Amino acid sequence: MPPSVVVFNPSPLVTVTIEDRGGTPDIHVHAGGQGVWQARMISTLGVQVIMCAALGGETGDLLGHLLPGDGVELRRVTTSTRNGGYVHDRRDDERDEIVEAPGGPLDRHEQDELYELVLHEGITHGTAVLAGPNSDQVVPHHLYGRLATDLSANGCRVAADLAGERLNAVLEGKPFLIKVSHEELLADGRAESESPADLVAAMRKLREEGAGTVVVSRAADPALALVEDDVLEIHLPPLQPAESSGAGDSMTAGAVASLVKGLEIREALRIGAACGALNVVRRGLGTGGDHAIDTLAERVELVDWKG
């Protein structure tokens, strides 16, 4: 079987962006949300994605056409509630929100159907990324705990870029990779400050609670990674940012795709970091070319943290 990753995407979004094109408004309609952006980057690296998503309403019907693509296969659960979406105006190079509608909650039967779908696909393909919902009301956090635990117990490696109660729940399943931002560690009360020493202490606590490799992004500062017993700083090549959103999602996706392709963890972190860096210089979230990623990965430095 060729390398593949299952992406659990409970609530993809319809995104409508208004941009300027030669003084004329230009409207773009896409699928969006964390799971979509992660899937896009994984497929860019030549790894097949099986996206398990809950779709409903008019927005869900539209997403059913937008989500499948080159390297991305859609497995859907049809729900009685609609998917969310947003409209943003970026004509002045800023992201001005016009309206945002959250996705509705799944009932217990829909949750069970989605769980069953992800369990089957995860065990079949061997690696799963659990993406967060766009709204807390879509699925309960304990569903993440059940999925992570049951997938791991049946030989499927689990990765996640989550925070709060969903992160706590996923740790029950001993995920092989956790990515979290330093802001999320602070907001969750897991880190006392943004100092590297406090962040590393929080990372070691995550390891004690079940995480394998732990990566903490720090905005413009070098990310930190806990690999076995080593703490590394991930230094990126200097680049001028165009859009900072989505860099962490691309980093997670790049690392997971690389590991599925058989690369060792340090090289996977370099490629993941390059994916995040390339995302920052582009306006399409989760996008980038594999040649540019390889070029940037050669310039990513992993340095032992001196704590």
- The pLDDT value given to residue 286: 44
Question: In CATH, what number is assigned to the domain containing residue 47?
Answer: 3.40.1190.20
State whether 226 and 121 are in the same domain. no
Give the least confident one: 70-84, 181-195, 201-215, 270-284: 270-284
State whether 237 and 116 are in the same domain. no
State whether 43 and 171 are in the same domain. yes
What is the pLDDT confidence band of residue 215, given thresholds at 50, 70 and 90? Answer: very high
User: What are the two backbone dihedrals, phi and then psi, of residue 227, each rounded to the nearest 5 degrees?
Assistant: -115, 110
- The pLDDT value given to residue 64: 97
- The pLDDT value given to residue 238: 77
HSE-CB for 130 with a 13 A CA cutoff: 37
Of 125, 153, 175, which residue is a domain's last?
Answer: 175
What is the pLDDT confidence band of residue 241, given thresholds at 50, 70 and 90? Answer: low
HSE-CB for 10 with a 13 A CA cutoff: 29
Inform me whether the pLDDT recorded for 189 exceeds 70: yes
pLDDT tens-place string over residues 30-47: 999 999 999 999 999 999
- Collapse the DSSP code of 250 into the 3-class scheme (helix H, G, I; strand E, B; otherwise coil) and give the result: helix
Q: Which helix (H) or strand (E) holds 282?
A: none
- The pLDDT value given to residue 288: 59
Residue pair 178/157 in contact (Cβ under 8 Å)? The answer is no
pLDDT tens-place string over residues 70-125: 999 999 999 999 999 999 998 887 788 999 999 999 999 999 999 999 999 999 99
Q: What residues have CB less than 8 Å from 232, skipping those under 6 apart? A: 224, 225, 226, 266, 269, 302, 303, 304, 305
State whether 264 and 253 are in the same domain. yes
State whether 247 and 307 are in the same domain. yes
Inform me whether the pLDDT recorded for 164 exceeds 50: yes
CA dist., res. 273 & res. 300, Å (int): 7
Whole-number average pLDDT of the chain = 93
Selection from 135, 66, 140, 143 nearest residue 104 by Cα: 135
- Collapse the DSSP code of 134 into the 3-class scheme (helix H, G, I; strand E, B; otherwise coil) and give the result: coil
State whether 144 and 44 are in the same domain. yes
Q: Give the total number of structural domains in the chain.
A: 2
- The pLDDT value given to residue 305: 95
User: What are the two backbone dihedrals, phi and then psi, of residue 114, each rounded to the nearest 5 degrees?
Assistant: -65, -45
230-235 sheet: strands from edge to edge: 72-78, 48-55, 4-9, 127-130, 157-160, 177-181, 213-218, 221-227, 230-235, 301-304
Range of the domain at 64: 1-175
Residue pair 215/200 in contact (Cβ under 8 Å)? The answer is no
Beta bridge partners of 51: 7, 74
Of 175, 198, 232, which residue is a domain's last?
Answer: 175
Inform me whether the pLDDT recorded for 284 exceeds 60: no
Beta bridge partners of 20: 25
State whether 53 and 167 are in the same domain. yes
State whether 211 and 292 are in the same domain. yes
- Collapse the DSSP code of 277 into the 3-class scheme (helix H, G, I; strand E, B; otherwise coil) and give the result: helix
Average pLDDT, stretch 190-213? 97
State whether 108 and 132 are in the same domain. yes
State whether 57 and 169 are in the same domain. yes
Of 127, 153, 175, which residue is a domain's last?
Answer: 175
